[in-house]
Protein backbone atom coordinates (compact mmCIF):
# COMPACT_ATOMS: atom_id res chain seq x y z
CA UNK A 1 0.00 0.00 0.00
CA UNK A 2 2.71 2.40 1.01
CA UNK A 3 4.53 1.68 -2.24
CA UNK A 4 1.41 2.33 -4.23
CA UNK A 5 1.02 5.80 -2.77
CA UNK A 6 4.67 6.52 -3.36
CA UNK A 7 4.26 5.40 -6.96
CA UNK A 8 1.23 7.66 -7.32
CA UNK A 9 3.15 10.56 -5.86
CA UNK A 10 5.96 9.94 -8.36
CA UNK A 11 3.42 9.87 -11.20
CA UNK A 12 2.01 13.14 -9.98
CA UNK A 13 5.51 14.65 -10.01
CA UNK A 14 5.97 13.52 -13.64
CA UNK A 15 2.69 15.15 -14.64
CA UNK A 16 3.60 18.36 -12.83
CA UNK A 17 7.01 18.38 -14.54
CA UNK A 18 5.39 17.87 -17.93
CA UNK A 19 2.83 20.65 -17.35
CA UNK A 20 5.54 23.05 -16.16
CA UNK A 21 7.50 22.29 -19.34
CA UNK A 22 4.47 22.98 -21.52
CA UNK A 23 3.75 26.27 -19.73
CA UNK A 24 7.36 27.33 -20.19
CA UNK A 25 7.13 26.36 -23.88
CA UNK A 26 3.97 28.45 -24.28
CA UNK A 27 5.53 31.49 -22.57
CA UNK A 28 8.77 31.38 -24.54
CA UNK A 29 6.88 30.70 -27.77
CA UNK A 30 4.78 33.82 -27.23
CA UNK A 31 7.94 35.93 -26.95
CA UNK A 32 8.31 35.23 -30.70
CA UNK A 33 12.07 34.80 -30.42
CA UNK A 34 12.33 32.59 -33.48
CA UNK A 35 9.99 31.14 -36.12
CA UNK A 36 11.43 27.73 -35.16
CA UNK A 37 9.85 28.09 -31.74
CA UNK A 38 6.07 28.51 -32.00
CA UNK A 39 4.01 28.49 -28.80
CA UNK A 40 2.59 25.16 -27.64
CA UNK A 41 -0.99 26.27 -28.28
CA UNK A 42 -0.15 26.83 -31.94
CA UNK A 43 1.35 23.32 -32.23
CA UNK A 44 -1.72 21.89 -30.52
CA UNK A 45 -3.95 23.63 -33.03
CA UNK A 46 -1.78 22.20 -35.81
CA UNK A 47 -2.10 18.72 -34.28
CA UNK A 48 -5.88 18.94 -34.50
CA UNK A 49 -5.69 20.15 -38.08
CA UNK A 50 -2.87 17.96 -39.40
CA UNK A 51 -3.69 14.61 -37.73
CA UNK A 52 -7.05 14.54 -39.50
CA UNK A 53 -5.94 15.90 -42.86
CA UNK A 54 -6.09 13.50 -45.85
CA UNK A 55 -2.51 14.35 -46.74
CA UNK A 56 -1.31 13.16 -43.30
CA UNK A 57 -3.47 10.05 -43.30
CA UNK A 58 -2.25 9.09 -46.77
CA UNK A 59 1.37 9.54 -45.64
CA UNK A 60 0.74 7.52 -42.46
CA UNK A 61 -0.76 4.72 -44.54
CA UNK A 62 2.32 4.65 -46.79
CA UNK A 63 4.69 4.46 -43.83
CA UNK A 64 2.67 1.75 -42.10
CA UNK A 65 2.62 -0.33 -45.29
CA UNK A 66 6.42 -0.18 -45.50
CA UNK A 67 6.80 -1.22 -41.87
CA UNK A 68 4.23 -3.98 -42.24
CA UNK A 69 6.06 -5.40 -45.25
CA UNK A 70 9.62 -5.16 -43.91
CA UNK A 71 9.48 -5.59 -40.13
CA UNK A 72 7.85 -9.04 -39.70
CA UNK A 73 10.20 -10.92 -42.07
CA UNK A 74 13.16 -9.04 -40.60
CA UNK A 75 12.14 -10.21 -37.12
CA UNK A 76 11.45 -13.81 -38.18
CA UNK A 77 14.76 -14.10 -40.03
CA UNK A 78 16.57 -12.35 -37.19
CA UNK A 79 15.20 -14.81 -34.63
CA UNK A 80 16.13 -17.78 -36.84
CA UNK A 81 19.70 -16.59 -37.43
CA UNK A 82 20.01 -15.58 -33.78
CA UNK A 83 19.01 -19.08 -32.66
CA UNK A 84 21.61 -20.65 -34.95
CA UNK A 85 24.36 -18.25 -33.83
CA UNK A 86 23.55 -18.80 -30.17
CA UNK A 87 23.40 -22.56 -30.51
CA UNK A 88 26.22 -23.43 -32.92
CA UNK A 89 29.79 -22.28 -32.39
CA UNK A 90 30.65 -22.53 -36.07
CA UNK A 91 27.78 -20.34 -37.18
CA UNK A 92 28.78 -17.86 -34.49
CA UNK A 93 32.35 -17.72 -35.72
CA UNK A 94 31.21 -17.33 -39.31
CA UNK A 95 28.66 -14.56 -38.76
CA UNK A 96 29.69 -12.72 -35.61
CA UNK A 97 32.20 -10.31 -37.21
CA UNK A 98 29.73 -9.40 -39.94
CA UNK A 99 26.92 -8.71 -37.52
CA UNK A 100 29.03 -6.75 -35.09
CA UNK A 101 30.28 -4.62 -37.96
CA UNK A 102 26.74 -3.76 -38.98
CA UNK A 103 25.80 -2.97 -35.40
CA UNK A 104 28.61 -0.48 -34.97
CA UNK A 105 28.25 1.18 -38.37
CA UNK A 106 26.46 4.53 -38.56
CA UNK A 107 23.56 3.14 -40.58
CA UNK A 108 22.54 6.54 -41.90
CA UNK A 109 25.72 6.51 -43.94
CA UNK A 110 24.57 3.32 -45.67
CA UNK A 111 21.24 4.72 -46.83
CA UNK A 112 22.64 6.33 -50.00
CA UNK A 113 24.17 2.95 -50.87
CA UNK A 114 20.79 1.28 -50.45
CA UNK A 115 19.21 3.85 -52.76
CA UNK A 116 21.95 3.16 -55.26
CA UNK A 117 21.10 -0.52 -55.16
CA UNK A 118 17.32 -0.48 -54.81
CA UNK A 119 16.47 2.78 -56.57
CA UNK A 120 14.38 5.72 -55.49
CA UNK A 121 11.32 3.81 -54.32
CA UNK A 122 9.79 1.52 -51.75
CA UNK A 123 12.55 -1.09 -52.18
CA UNK A 124 15.09 1.21 -50.55
CA UNK A 125 12.71 2.08 -47.72
CA UNK A 126 12.17 -1.60 -47.00
CA UNK A 127 15.90 -2.26 -47.11
CA UNK A 128 16.51 0.57 -44.65
CA UNK A 129 13.98 -0.87 -42.21
CA UNK A 130 15.65 -4.27 -42.50
CA UNK A 131 19.19 -3.05 -41.77
CA UNK A 132 17.87 -1.01 -38.82
CA UNK A 133 16.03 -3.98 -37.26
CA UNK A 134 17.49 -7.33 -38.37
CA UNK A 135 20.84 -7.21 -36.57
CA UNK A 136 19.40 -6.03 -33.29
CA UNK A 137 16.99 -8.99 -33.25
CA UNK A 138 19.83 -11.37 -34.15
CA UNK A 139 22.16 -10.33 -31.31
CA UNK A 140 19.45 -10.22 -28.69
CA UNK A 141 18.12 -13.65 -29.69
CA UNK A 142 21.64 -15.10 -29.73
CA UNK A 143 22.26 -13.63 -26.27
CA UNK A 144 18.96 -15.18 -25.15
CA UNK A 145 20.07 -18.60 -26.35
CA UNK A 146 23.18 -18.27 -24.20
CA UNK A 147 20.99 -17.90 -21.11
CA UNK A 148 19.68 -21.47 -21.62
CA UNK A 149 20.26 -23.62 -18.55
CA UNK A 150 22.51 -26.48 -19.75
CA UNK A 151 20.91 -28.73 -17.13
CA UNK A 152 17.56 -28.38 -18.92
CA UNK A 153 19.18 -29.38 -22.20
CA UNK A 154 20.70 -32.40 -20.48
CA UNK A 155 17.35 -33.28 -18.89
CA UNK A 156 15.67 -33.16 -22.31
CA UNK A 157 18.43 -35.37 -23.73
CA UNK A 158 17.99 -37.86 -20.91
CA UNK A 159 14.39 -38.29 -22.05
CA UNK A 160 15.57 -38.97 -25.58
CA UNK A 161 15.14 -35.50 -27.10
CA UNK A 162 16.74 -34.97 -30.51
CA UNK A 163 18.17 -31.65 -31.66
CA UNK A 164 14.83 -30.47 -33.09
CA UNK A 165 13.08 -31.03 -29.78
CA UNK A 166 15.89 -29.35 -27.87
CA UNK A 167 15.71 -26.34 -30.18
CA UNK A 168 11.90 -25.98 -30.11
CA UNK A 169 11.11 -26.86 -26.55
CA UNK A 170 14.21 -25.74 -24.64
CA UNK A 171 16.40 -23.26 -26.53
CA UNK A 172 13.63 -21.15 -28.06
CA UNK A 173 11.61 -20.61 -24.85
CA UNK A 174 14.82 -19.86 -22.95
CA UNK A 175 15.74 -17.22 -25.51
CA UNK A 176 12.29 -15.60 -25.63
CA UNK A 177 12.68 -12.91 -22.94
CA UNK A 178 15.73 -11.39 -24.62
CA UNK A 179 14.26 -12.00 -28.06
CA UNK A 180 11.25 -9.91 -27.08
CA UNK A 181 13.54 -7.19 -25.78
CA UNK A 182 15.19 -7.20 -29.21
CA UNK A 183 11.83 -7.03 -30.99
CA UNK A 184 10.79 -4.12 -28.78
CA UNK A 185 13.84 -2.13 -29.79
CA UNK A 186 13.52 -3.19 -33.42
CA UNK A 187 9.98 -1.81 -33.48
CA UNK A 188 11.16 1.59 -32.33
CA UNK A 189 14.01 1.54 -34.82
CA UNK A 190 11.70 0.50 -37.68
CA UNK A 191 9.72 3.71 -37.20
CA UNK A 192 12.89 5.77 -37.17
CA UNK A 193 14.17 3.94 -40.26
CA UNK A 194 11.02 4.48 -42.31
CA UNK A 195 11.06 8.23 -41.58
CA UNK A 196 14.74 8.59 -42.45
CA UNK A 197 14.42 6.67 -45.72
CA UNK A 198 11.24 8.48 -46.77
CA UNK A 199 12.93 11.80 -46.12
CA UNK A 200 15.52 10.92 -48.74
CA UNK A 201 12.79 10.44 -51.35
CA UNK A 202 10.78 13.32 -49.96
CA UNK A 203 7.52 12.34 -51.62
CA UNK A 204 5.91 9.47 -49.78
CA UNK A 205 5.13 8.61 -46.19
CA UNK A 206 5.47 10.55 -42.97
CA UNK A 207 9.15 11.12 -43.70
CA UNK A 208 8.21 12.72 -47.01
CA UNK A 209 5.67 14.86 -45.24
CA UNK A 210 8.26 15.96 -42.68
CA UNK A 211 10.61 16.82 -45.51
CA UNK A 212 8.03 18.87 -47.38
CA UNK A 213 6.75 20.68 -44.28
CA UNK A 214 10.33 21.49 -43.31
CA UNK A 215 11.03 22.81 -46.78
CA UNK A 216 7.96 25.03 -46.61
CA UNK A 217 8.88 26.29 -43.11
CA UNK A 218 5.50 25.07 -41.86
CA UNK A 219 6.97 24.70 -38.39
CA UNK A 220 3.74 24.10 -36.42
CA UNK A 221 2.61 21.35 -38.80
CA UNK A 222 6.10 19.85 -38.81
CA UNK A 223 6.03 19.61 -35.02
CA UNK A 224 2.58 18.05 -35.17
CA UNK A 225 3.91 15.24 -37.39
CA UNK A 226 7.07 14.76 -35.31
CA UNK A 227 4.95 14.59 -32.15
CA UNK A 228 2.83 11.91 -33.78
CA UNK A 229 5.87 9.87 -34.76
CA UNK A 230 7.25 10.05 -31.22
CA UNK A 231 3.96 9.00 -29.63
CA UNK A 232 3.47 6.27 -32.23
CA UNK A 233 6.89 4.84 -31.36
CA UNK A 234 6.10 4.83 -27.66
CA UNK A 235 2.73 3.16 -28.16
CA UNK A 236 4.15 0.50 -30.52
CA UNK A 237 6.91 -0.44 -28.13
CA UNK A 238 4.41 -0.60 -25.27
CA UNK A 239 2.23 -2.89 -27.43
CA UNK A 240 5.18 -5.25 -27.86
CA UNK A 241 5.78 -5.14 -24.11
CA UNK A 242 2.16 -6.13 -23.51
CA UNK A 243 2.41 -9.00 -26.00
CA UNK A 244 5.59 -10.01 -24.19
CA UNK A 245 3.85 -10.18 -20.82
CA UNK A 246 1.07 -12.26 -22.41
CA UNK A 247 3.52 -14.64 -24.04
CA UNK A 248 5.83 -15.03 -21.04
CA UNK A 249 3.55 -15.51 -18.04
CA UNK A 250 6.35 -17.07 -15.99
CA UNK A 251 8.40 -13.89 -15.87
CA UNK A 252 5.58 -11.50 -15.10
CA UNK A 253 6.78 -11.47 -11.52
CA UNK A 254 10.23 -10.39 -12.63
CA UNK A 255 11.31 -7.06 -14.03
CA UNK A 256 11.06 -6.42 -17.74
CA UNK A 257 14.08 -7.93 -19.44
CA UNK A 258 16.76 -5.42 -20.31
CA UNK A 259 18.03 -5.94 -23.85
CA UNK A 260 21.53 -7.35 -24.24
CA UNK A 261 22.28 -4.80 -26.95
CA UNK A 262 20.44 -1.63 -27.87
CA UNK A 263 22.53 -0.70 -30.90
CA UNK A 264 23.61 2.69 -32.10
CA UNK B 1 20.11 -56.53 -14.75
CA UNK B 2 22.50 -53.59 -15.00
CA UNK B 3 26.15 -54.54 -15.25
CA UNK B 4 28.85 -51.96 -14.79
CA UNK B 5 31.98 -53.51 -16.27
CA UNK B 6 35.38 -52.02 -15.45
CA UNK B 7 34.23 -48.51 -16.11
CA UNK B 8 36.79 -45.73 -16.27
CA UNK B 9 36.36 -42.07 -17.08
CA UNK B 10 38.96 -39.39 -17.64
CA UNK B 11 38.40 -35.69 -18.14
CA UNK B 12 40.73 -33.24 -19.85
CA UNK B 13 41.98 -30.60 -17.47
CA UNK B 14 42.58 -26.95 -18.30
CA UNK B 15 46.34 -27.35 -18.25
CA UNK B 16 46.15 -29.99 -20.99
CA UNK B 17 46.51 -33.02 -18.74
CA UNK B 18 43.91 -35.63 -17.87
CA UNK B 19 42.02 -36.19 -14.64
CA UNK B 20 40.90 -39.66 -13.70
CA UNK B 21 37.40 -39.35 -12.24
CA UNK B 22 36.54 -43.06 -12.20
CA UNK B 23 38.74 -46.13 -12.39
CA UNK B 24 37.88 -49.82 -12.79
CA UNK B 25 34.39 -49.56 -11.40
CA UNK B 26 32.51 -52.85 -11.55
CA UNK B 27 29.26 -53.86 -9.90
CA UNK B 28 25.82 -54.99 -10.92
CA UNK B 29 22.30 -54.06 -9.96
CA UNK B 30 19.56 -56.66 -9.95
CA UNK B 31 16.08 -56.20 -11.41
CA UNK B 32 13.68 -54.41 -9.06
CA UNK B 33 16.49 -53.68 -6.66
CA UNK B 34 16.78 -50.43 -4.74
CA UNK B 35 20.48 -49.72 -5.04
CA UNK B 36 22.15 -46.69 -3.47
CA UNK B 37 25.52 -45.13 -4.17
CA UNK B 38 27.22 -43.15 -1.44
CA UNK B 39 30.65 -41.56 -1.42
CA UNK B 40 32.57 -38.38 -0.79
CA UNK B 41 31.94 -35.31 -2.92
CA UNK B 42 33.72 -35.50 -6.25
CA UNK B 43 34.16 -39.28 -6.29
CA UNK B 44 32.21 -39.57 -9.54
CA UNK B 45 28.70 -40.55 -8.43
CA UNK B 46 26.96 -38.17 -10.82
CA UNK B 47 29.31 -39.13 -13.65
CA UNK B 48 28.56 -42.79 -13.04
CA UNK B 49 24.80 -42.22 -13.00
CA UNK B 50 24.95 -40.15 -16.20
CA UNK B 51 26.83 -43.00 -17.84
CA UNK B 52 23.99 -45.37 -16.98
CA UNK B 53 21.59 -42.74 -18.32
CA UNK B 54 23.57 -42.64 -21.56
CA UNK B 55 24.45 -38.95 -21.20
CA UNK B 56 28.18 -39.45 -20.60
CA UNK B 57 30.39 -41.99 -22.35
CA UNK B 58 32.89 -44.03 -20.37
CA UNK B 59 36.47 -43.75 -21.60
CA UNK B 60 36.96 -47.42 -20.82
CA UNK B 61 34.73 -50.31 -19.92
CA UNK B 62 31.09 -50.88 -20.69
CA UNK B 63 27.65 -50.69 -19.19
CA UNK B 64 25.32 -53.51 -20.16
CA UNK B 65 21.60 -53.52 -19.44
CA UNK B 66 19.79 -56.85 -19.92
CA UNK B 67 22.50 -57.98 -22.28
CA UNK B 68 22.75 -54.92 -24.51
CA UNK B 69 25.45 -52.25 -24.12
CA UNK B 70 24.37 -48.68 -23.35
CA UNK B 71 25.10 -46.29 -26.22
CA UNK B 72 22.80 -43.39 -25.34
CA UNK B 73 19.59 -42.49 -23.52
CA UNK B 74 16.85 -45.09 -23.83
CA UNK B 75 13.18 -45.64 -23.14
CA UNK B 76 14.00 -48.11 -20.38
CA UNK B 77 15.58 -45.42 -18.17
CA UNK B 78 14.50 -42.10 -16.66
CA UNK B 79 16.36 -39.67 -14.46
CA UNK B 80 15.40 -37.53 -11.45
CA UNK B 81 17.71 -34.57 -10.91
CA UNK B 82 19.07 -32.97 -7.74
CA UNK B 83 17.94 -29.48 -8.68
CA UNK B 84 14.62 -30.71 -10.12
CA UNK B 85 15.35 -29.13 -13.56
CA UNK B 86 11.78 -28.17 -14.45
CA UNK B 87 10.82 -25.93 -17.37
CA UNK B 88 10.05 -22.54 -15.78
CA UNK B 89 7.92 -21.50 -18.77
CA UNK B 90 5.63 -24.52 -18.73
CA UNK B 91 2.89 -25.42 -16.26
CA UNK B 92 3.13 -28.49 -14.05
CA UNK B 93 1.12 -30.77 -16.32
CA UNK B 94 3.32 -29.96 -19.32
CA UNK B 95 6.38 -30.52 -17.14
CA UNK B 96 5.18 -33.95 -16.04
CA UNK B 97 4.40 -34.83 -19.66
CA UNK B 98 7.69 -33.46 -20.98
CA UNK B 99 9.45 -36.84 -21.10
CA UNK B 100 6.56 -38.29 -23.10
CA UNK B 101 6.65 -35.31 -25.43
CA UNK B 102 10.38 -35.87 -26.03
CA UNK B 103 9.51 -39.44 -26.94
CA UNK B 104 7.21 -38.32 -29.71
CA UNK B 105 3.77 -37.71 -28.20
CA UNK B 106 2.03 -34.44 -29.04
CA UNK B 107 1.78 -31.79 -26.35
CA UNK B 108 -1.90 -32.54 -25.81
CA UNK B 109 -1.42 -36.31 -25.65
CA UNK B 110 1.46 -36.04 -23.22
CA UNK B 111 -0.46 -33.65 -20.97
CA UNK B 112 -3.40 -36.06 -20.92
CA UNK B 113 -1.14 -39.03 -20.18
CA UNK B 114 0.61 -37.06 -17.43
CA UNK B 115 -2.50 -36.55 -15.31
CA UNK B 116 -2.52 -39.87 -13.40
CA UNK B 117 1.15 -39.37 -12.49
CA UNK B 118 0.36 -35.99 -11.03
CA UNK B 119 -2.22 -37.73 -8.87
CA UNK B 120 0.28 -40.41 -7.91
CA UNK B 121 2.68 -37.85 -6.39
CA UNK B 122 -0.14 -35.96 -4.67
CA UNK B 123 -0.21 -32.82 -6.82
CA UNK B 124 -3.65 -33.25 -8.40
CA UNK B 125 -4.72 -29.63 -7.92
CA UNK B 126 -1.54 -28.10 -9.30
CA UNK B 127 -1.77 -29.04 -12.99
CA UNK B 128 -1.98 -25.44 -14.19
CA UNK B 129 0.48 -23.94 -11.73
CA UNK B 130 3.98 -22.87 -12.70
CA UNK B 131 7.10 -24.34 -11.06
CA UNK B 132 8.01 -21.09 -9.26
CA UNK B 133 4.68 -21.28 -7.44
CA UNK B 134 5.61 -24.63 -5.85
CA UNK B 135 7.79 -25.44 -2.85
CA UNK B 136 11.03 -27.38 -3.30
CA UNK B 137 9.43 -30.61 -2.15
CA UNK B 138 6.54 -30.18 -4.57
CA UNK B 139 8.93 -29.37 -7.41
CA UNK B 140 10.79 -32.60 -6.79
CA UNK B 141 7.49 -34.49 -6.83
CA UNK B 142 7.04 -33.04 -10.32
CA UNK B 143 10.53 -34.29 -11.22
CA UNK B 144 9.61 -37.74 -9.93
CA UNK B 145 6.25 -37.74 -11.73
CA UNK B 146 7.96 -36.74 -14.98
CA UNK B 147 10.29 -39.73 -14.67
CA UNK B 148 7.48 -42.15 -13.70
CA UNK B 149 5.33 -40.93 -16.60
CA UNK B 150 7.59 -42.49 -19.22
CA UNK B 151 7.16 -45.87 -17.45
CA UNK B 152 10.86 -46.67 -17.18
CA UNK B 153 12.14 -50.01 -15.89
CA UNK B 154 15.04 -48.17 -14.30
CA UNK B 155 14.84 -45.00 -12.25
CA UNK B 156 18.09 -43.05 -11.89
CA UNK B 157 18.03 -40.60 -9.02
CA UNK B 158 20.90 -38.16 -8.38
CA UNK B 159 20.62 -36.85 -4.83
CA UNK B 160 16.95 -36.12 -5.49
CA UNK B 161 16.28 -34.94 -1.93
CA UNK B 162 19.63 -33.22 -1.39
CA UNK B 163 18.20 -29.73 -1.89
CA UNK B 164 15.30 -30.23 0.53
CA UNK B 165 15.03 -29.45 4.24
CA UNK B 166 15.17 -32.32 6.73
CA UNK B 167 11.42 -32.76 7.31
CA UNK B 168 10.50 -32.53 3.63
CA UNK B 169 13.28 -34.93 2.88
CA UNK B 170 11.95 -37.51 5.32
CA UNK B 171 8.43 -37.18 3.91
CA UNK B 172 9.76 -37.61 0.38
CA UNK B 173 11.67 -40.74 1.43
CA UNK B 174 8.48 -42.27 2.81
CA UNK B 175 6.54 -41.33 -0.33
CA UNK B 176 9.24 -42.76 -2.56
CA UNK B 177 9.14 -46.02 -0.54
CA UNK B 178 5.39 -46.22 -1.00
CA UNK B 179 5.61 -45.55 -4.73
CA UNK B 180 8.47 -48.00 -5.18
CA UNK B 181 6.53 -50.73 -3.33
CA UNK B 182 3.77 -50.41 -5.91
CA UNK B 183 5.79 -49.67 -9.06
CA UNK B 184 8.49 -52.32 -8.57
CA UNK B 185 11.25 -50.62 -10.55
CA UNK B 186 14.99 -50.90 -10.44
CA UNK B 187 16.30 -47.79 -8.71
CA UNK B 188 19.85 -46.44 -8.62
CA UNK B 189 19.88 -43.74 -5.99
CA UNK B 190 22.82 -41.42 -5.36
CA UNK B 191 22.94 -39.80 -1.95
CA UNK B 192 25.21 -38.11 0.56
CA UNK B 193 23.08 -39.28 3.46
CA UNK B 194 23.98 -42.58 5.15
CA UNK B 195 20.66 -42.54 6.94
CA UNK B 196 18.78 -42.16 3.67
CA UNK B 197 20.82 -44.92 2.00
CA UNK B 198 20.16 -47.36 4.83
CA UNK B 199 16.46 -46.52 5.09
CA UNK B 200 15.69 -46.90 1.38
CA UNK B 201 18.05 -49.47 -0.06
CA UNK B 202 18.44 -53.18 -0.59
CA UNK B 203 22.15 -52.64 -1.10
CA UNK B 204 24.52 -49.69 -0.76
CA UNK B 205 27.65 -49.12 -2.82
CA UNK B 206 30.26 -47.18 -0.85
CA UNK B 207 32.67 -45.38 -3.17
CA UNK B 208 36.26 -44.37 -2.66
CA UNK B 209 37.75 -41.26 -4.20
CA UNK B 210 40.83 -40.04 -6.17
CA UNK B 211 40.11 -41.78 -8.44
CA UNK B 212 36.52 -42.87 -7.84
CA UNK B 213 36.26 -46.63 -7.32
CA UNK B 214 34.26 -49.26 -5.49
CA UNK B 215 35.07 -49.50 -1.79
CA UNK B 216 32.45 -52.06 -0.82
CA UNK B 217 28.87 -53.09 -1.45
CA UNK B 218 26.77 -53.47 1.71
CA UNK B 219 23.61 -55.51 2.14
CA UNK B 220 20.81 -53.86 4.08
CA UNK B 221 19.19 -56.72 6.01
CA UNK B 222 16.12 -54.75 7.10
CA UNK B 223 12.68 -56.28 6.43
CA UNK B 224 10.18 -54.57 4.14
CA UNK B 225 7.89 -52.73 4.19
CA UNK B 226 9.88 -50.36 6.34
CA UNK B 227 8.61 -47.49 8.42
CA UNK B 228 10.14 -44.85 10.64
CA UNK B 229 10.69 -47.43 13.39
CA UNK B 230 13.54 -49.10 11.50
CA UNK B 231 15.67 -45.99 12.01
CA UNK B 232 16.04 -46.88 15.69
CA UNK B 233 16.87 -50.59 15.27
CA UNK B 234 20.37 -51.86 16.13
CA UNK B 235 20.86 -53.18 12.56
CA UNK B 236 20.15 -49.71 11.14
CA UNK B 237 22.52 -48.01 13.55
CA UNK B 238 25.24 -50.55 12.96
CA UNK B 239 24.95 -49.99 9.22
CA UNK B 240 25.08 -46.23 9.32
CA UNK B 241 27.97 -46.15 11.75
CA UNK B 242 29.84 -48.62 9.55
CA UNK B 243 29.28 -46.33 6.53
CA UNK B 244 30.34 -43.33 8.56
CA UNK B 245 33.52 -45.13 9.61
CA UNK B 246 34.33 -45.94 5.97
CA UNK B 247 33.61 -42.47 4.66
CA UNK B 248 35.36 -40.61 7.46
CA UNK B 249 38.61 -42.33 6.55
CA UNK B 250 38.26 -41.04 2.95
CA UNK B 251 37.36 -37.49 3.80
CA UNK B 252 40.49 -37.46 5.92
CA UNK B 253 39.20 -35.67 9.01
CA UNK B 254 39.01 -38.16 11.89
CA UNK B 255 37.65 -35.53 14.29
CA UNK B 256 34.74 -34.45 12.11
CA UNK B 257 31.37 -34.94 13.81
CA UNK B 258 28.98 -37.40 12.21
CA UNK B 259 26.45 -35.59 10.00
CA UNK B 260 22.69 -35.87 10.71
N1 LIG C 1 32.54 -32.44 -17.72
C2 LIG C 1 33.56 -32.51 -16.84
N3 LIG C 1 34.76 -31.98 -17.16
C4 LIG C 1 35.79 -32.05 -16.29
N5 LIG C 1 35.73 -32.63 -15.09
C6 LIG C 1 34.57 -33.18 -14.71
C7 LIG C 1 33.42 -33.14 -15.55
N8 LIG C 1 32.39 -33.76 -14.92
C9 LIG C 1 32.89 -34.17 -13.72
N10 LIG C 1 34.19 -33.82 -13.59
C11 LIG C 1 35.05 -34.13 -12.44
O12 LIG C 1 34.91 -35.48 -12.12
C13 LIG C 1 34.84 -35.67 -10.73
C14 LIG C 1 33.58 -36.38 -10.36
O15 LIG C 1 32.47 -35.53 -10.58
P16 LIG C 1 31.00 -35.94 -10.16
O17 LIG C 1 30.13 -34.76 -10.42
O18 LIG C 1 30.64 -37.21 -10.83
O19 LIG C 1 31.16 -36.17 -8.60
P20 LIG C 1 30.04 -36.50 -7.51
O21 LIG C 1 30.49 -37.72 -6.82
O22 LIG C 1 28.71 -36.52 -8.13
O23 LIG C 1 30.20 -35.27 -6.54
P24 LIG C 1 29.06 -34.59 -5.65
O25 LIG C 1 28.81 -35.52 -4.52
O26 LIG C 1 29.69 -33.33 -5.19
O27 LIG C 1 27.88 -34.37 -6.51
C28 LIG C 1 34.95 -34.29 -10.09
O29 LIG C 1 36.27 -34.09 -9.65
C30 LIG C 1 34.62 -33.35 -11.22
O31 LIG C 1 35.34 -32.15 -11.07
MG1 LIG D 1 26.98 -35.28 -7.96
**Residue that wins the pLDDT comparison between B205 and A8:** B205
Contact B86, B106 (CB under 8 A): no
CA of A87 to the centre of ligand 2 (A): 26
Please say if the pLDDT value at position B188 is more than 90.
yes
The DSSP output letter for B183 is H
- Contacts by residues B57-60 (CB-CB < 8 Å, ≥ 24 positions apart): B58/B7, B58/B8, B58/B9, B58/B22, B59/B8, B59/B9, B59/B10, B60/B6, B60/B7, B60/B8, B60/B9
- Mean pLDDT calculated for residue range B104-133: 94
Q: How confident is the model at residue B225 (pLDDT cuts 50, 70, 90)?
A: confident
**Three state DSSP letters for chain A:** CHHHHHHHHHHHHHHHHHHHHHHHHHHHHHCCCCCCCCCHHHHHHHHHHHCCCHHHHHHHHHHHHHHHHHHHHHHHHHHHHHHHHHHCHHHHHHHHHHHHHHHHCCHHHHHHHHHHHHCCCHHHHHHHHHHHHHHHHHHHHHHHHHCCCHHHHHHHHHCCCCHHHHHHHHHHHHHHHHHHHHHHHHHHHHHHHHHHHHHHHCCCHHHHHHHHHHHCCCHHHHHHHHHHHHHHHHHHHHHHHHHHHHHCHHHCCCCCCCCCCCCC
Contacts of A161 in chain B (CB under 8 A): 102
* ipTM for the complex shown: 0.91
Question: A33 CB near a chain B CB, below 8 Å?
Answer: no
Considering only CA atoms, which residue is closest to atom 29 of ligand 1? B42
**C-alpha–C-alpha distance, residues A136 and A182, integer Å:** 6
In tens, the pLDDT along B128-155 reads 999 999 999 999 999 999 999 999 999 9
Size of chain B, expressed as the number of residues it contains: 260
Please say if the pLDDT value at position B258 is more than 70.
no
Tell me, what's the pLDDT at B98?
A: 97
Share of chain B above pLDDT 70, in %: 96
Query: Is this model's pTM higher than 0.90 or not?
Result: no
Interface test mutation site (partner A, options B89, B142, B163, max chain A beta carbons within 10 A): B89
- Mean pLDDT calculated for residue range B150-179: 92
Please say if the pLDDT value at position B166 is more than 70.
yes
Interface test mutation site (partner A, options B47, B74, B85, B104, max chain A beta carbons within 10 A): B85
In tens, the pLDDT along A191-214 reads 999 999 999 888 889 999 999 998
Amino acid sequence: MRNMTRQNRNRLLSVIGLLAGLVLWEVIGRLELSPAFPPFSAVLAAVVEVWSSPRFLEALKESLISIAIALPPSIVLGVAIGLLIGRYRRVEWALDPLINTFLSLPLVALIPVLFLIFGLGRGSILATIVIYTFFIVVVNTAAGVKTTDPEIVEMARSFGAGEAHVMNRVILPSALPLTFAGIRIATGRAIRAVIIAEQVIGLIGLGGLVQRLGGAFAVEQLYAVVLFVGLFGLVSMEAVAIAERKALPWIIAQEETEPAFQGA
Amino acid sequence: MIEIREIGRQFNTRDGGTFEALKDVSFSVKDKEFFSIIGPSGCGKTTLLKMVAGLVRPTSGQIVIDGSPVSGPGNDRAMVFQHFVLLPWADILTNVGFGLEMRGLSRRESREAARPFLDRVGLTGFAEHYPHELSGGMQQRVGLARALAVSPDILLMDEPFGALDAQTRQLMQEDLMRIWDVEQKTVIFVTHSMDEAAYLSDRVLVMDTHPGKVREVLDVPLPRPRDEAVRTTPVFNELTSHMWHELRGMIGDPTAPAPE
